Amino acid sequence: MGKMSVNLCGIELDNPVIPASGTFGFGYEFAELYDINMLGTFSFKGTTKDPRFGNPTPRIAETPNGMINAVGLQNPGVEKVIYEELPKLKKCFNKPVMANESGFSVEDYVYTCEKVDKCEQVGWIEVNVSCPNVHGGGMSFGTSPEAAAEVTRAVKAVTTKPVIIKLSPNVTDIVAIAKACEEAGADGISLINTLLGMRIDLRTRKPVIANKMGGFSGPAIFPVAIRMVYQVAHAVNIPVIGMGGVSSAEDVIEMMLAGASAVEVGAANLVDPYACKNIIEDLPRVMEKYGIENLSDIIKGVK
């Protein structure tokens, strides 16, 4: 059997498969279904300084080959995450976890990242400057190189753990933003977050979600994600985590060939809670099929 382990910012993963933030809760919910220690790691639910109820419902709708969501970063706030959610997770997950942090100001990002940086369970901090479903924050920080770099510098100044900046695809030049984050001290880049999408119900003549527009994810965005991962991975000298429509072991291999050191799986978890388990179990077969001895050898395998 081929070797599936990869290195992400100096931390060894048993395999490159990582459930994406917002699709895996705080992990222990899925631990009731299977042993989540088989995962490389996972990125827990996006956390903000203060508790958030999120956007009004309906806020999730299926579309052909994907879904639109505008959950709006519903979470209990960073204090409850640290003192209630992480202790629950510790009972069923013995690996470092990825903390996903969001904010509405640079000060918000600094506050939450400094807090989670002190948590022993946290291995990486994934800074979300790319959420399209909240107003007055989130994606606005990820749409310009200057703003993304400002957040990166501020967070790096108060943290000791690897900081991975999660970027938005809703921009004209993803490479310029990624390079600005690298220059500001980012240890890694993750991309892509959801595309901004919208559907209209023909019967009611209203948008299918209350927020009107939301994050479009699922298999339909996979080619866009591959293109952006390829562009960024070949422009920066820090690890890239690829995501966007990944739903099979073949997709994981393709992401890694494009340049991803690890791969996040998002919407597929909401369709099938066993998606990541199935992908990991199928990876050895796909590696053998394509003559891959070590997964780490194929990163940036396409020039």
Residue-wise pLDDT tens digits, 121-162: 999 999 999 755 444 444 568 888 999 999 999 999 999 999
pLDDT (0 to 100) of residue 139: 53
Question: Tokens for 143?
Answer: 């749409």
113 given a catalytic annotation: no
Q: How far apart are alpha carbons 14 and 42 in whole angstroms? A: 12
DSSP one-letter string for 187-214: SEEEE--PEEE--EETTTTEESSTTSSE
pTM: 0.95
Q: Which of 9, 113, 131, 276 does the annotation list as catalytic?
A: 131
Q: Which fold has domain 6-298?
A: TIM Barrel (3.20.20)
The arithmetic mean of pLDDT across residues 66-81, rounded, is 94
Average pLDDT over residues 29-50: 97
Q: Are strands 206-207 and 122-128 parallel, antiparallel or unpaired?
A: unpaired
Enumerate the domain spans of the chain: 6-298
Q: Is the pLDDT reported for residue 19 higher than 90?
A: yes
What average pLDDT score do residues 178-188 get? Answer: 98
Give the pLDDT score at 131.
59
pLDDT at 303: 79
